């Protein structure tokens, strides 16, 4: 009886490990500081389901929004609060992001 429980526990652990290996989602932390978006360049693998976790840490830039023009995303960034921006599965190429007015130099996600 105890062995059966142990075996099923082991099976559950192995199954969840396998599921994690196949999971291609990725959370990427992005900060807005006096220097703009950090990091400015992010590398991901094609087919990855990407969510940006954006935290604005300064009031001294115009970036109180983040936008991803190719995804038609524009999101408010409250000070010191992390905002999730789901981009979905990314194909090969480059995705630009920047401030709400598209003035400030933003950054890019390189999918390769
Ligand atoms: Cu701006």
Task: Name the 3-class secondary structure at 26.
Answer: strand
Mean pLDDT of the chain: 87
Residue 54 CB: number of other CB atoms within 10 A?
22
Model pLDDT for residues 2-45, shown as the tens digit of each residue: 656 556 655 665 555 555 545 699 999 999 999 999 999 999 99
Q: How far is the CA of 65 from the centre of ligand 1 (A)?
A: 8
Q: Give the domain ranges of the chain.
A: 24-111
pLDDT for position 4: 66
**Quick one: tokens of 91?**
């194909």
Q: What is the pLDDT of residue 16?
A: 57
Distance 101 CA to ligand 1 centre (A): 5
Average pLDDT, stretch 69-75?
95
- What is the distance in A from the centroid of ligand 1 to the CA of 58? 13
How confident is residue 104, by pLDDT bands cut at 50, 70 and 90? low
Contacts of 63 (CB under 8 A, 6+ apart): 32, 36, 37, 56, 77, 98, 99, 100, 104
Listed range (3-12, 64-73, 74-83, 98-107) with the worst mean pLDDT: 3-12
pLDDT value of residue 23: 64
Local structure of residue 71 (DSSP, 8 states): G
CA-based nearest residue to 85, from 51, 55, 37: 51
**Looking at domain 24-111, which CATH architecture does it have?**
Sandwich (2.60)
């Amino acid at each position: 009886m105890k062995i059966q429980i142990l075996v099923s526990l082991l099976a559950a652990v192995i199954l969840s490990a396998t599921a994690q290996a196949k999971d291609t989602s990725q959370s990427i932390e992005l900060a807005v500081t006096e220097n703009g978006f950090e990091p400015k360049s992010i590398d991901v693998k094609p087919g990855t389901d990407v969510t940006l976790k954006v935290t604005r840490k300064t009031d001294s830039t115009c970036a109180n929004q983040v936008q991803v023009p190719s995804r038609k995303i524009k999101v408010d960034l409250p000070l010191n609060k992390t905002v999730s921006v789901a981009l979905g599965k990314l194909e090969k190429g480059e995705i630009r992001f920047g401030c709400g007015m598209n003035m400030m130099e933003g950054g890019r996600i390189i999918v390769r």
